A = this chain, B = another copy of it.
């Protein structure tokens, strides 16, 4: 998917919502476990059916599938089949390894599974990121400033006016300029003030913004600090949508939670 297509889908849907598909077997409703051979797939099916008109992206978190072993990867592949055309699919995998290994990961996510995008960790530098950017019309969202408490351990390391996360954004922008793929940055909603600083360094890029809802971030401050002319944001909610309800009508509750976010988003797109 090209960036202008994503911008256009955002305008059409009045939404820049990304729904995180992090299915926790201990939190999905009990009736799914009792009635379905693959309760996680059925959970995802109903979440997608209830939210796909409100979302422009889905982001399965690989850990939740890997925790199920080989069967989890079957569930992941089957989940991707359920996501309608035109919605960006992001593998939240945070991979990062030497070049010959990164090429394998890129093949795993972009070719074997068919994702549009993957999240990548920057620690190992250019040759760990570049192979993901060698696919035209595929996307990398590179970790810049994350939403968790541990972000403070290393992401601010270095001079006060040039912390590590800015160096990551700066270098990554230069790599992306030379390669056919599309690069975005992961910037947590829990640190909205810093969104503006990343926006200065990457005026055109999409930001994937986790941390709204369960982690405490909110849409209005993400938009006011992080938007560009075309919005340039994908705001992710996972637990706040997936576990909005816990009964047989969990999908209706999920839709309400997604609708509440989309309703907050729409006015910023006019």
Contact = CB atoms under 8 A, between A and B. Distances in A.
Nearest to A158: B158
A127 B101 contact: no
A102 B159 CA distance: 29
A123 B125 contact: no
A61 interface: yes
B105 A148 contact: no
B101 A125 contact: no
B167 A154 contact: yes
- How extensive is the interface on chain A, given as a class? 35 or more
A150 B67 CA distance: 30
B155 A95 contact: no
Contacts of A147: 98
Interface string A55-82: 0000001011011111111100100000
Nearest to A153: B125
Given A64-B104, A122-B153, 6 more contacts: A98-B148, A123-B155, A124-B146, A154-B167, A157-B157, A158-B158
17 contacts: A61-B101, A61-B104, A63-B108, A64-B101, A67-B105, A69-B77, A70-B70, A70-B74, A92-B97, A99-B148, A121-B124, A125-B152, A125-B155, A126-B150, A127-B149, A128-B150, A154-B171
Interface of A: 22, 61, 63-64, 66-74, 77, 92, 94-99, 101-102, 104-105, 107-109, 112-113, 121-129, 143, 146-155, 157-159, 164, 167-168, 171, 215
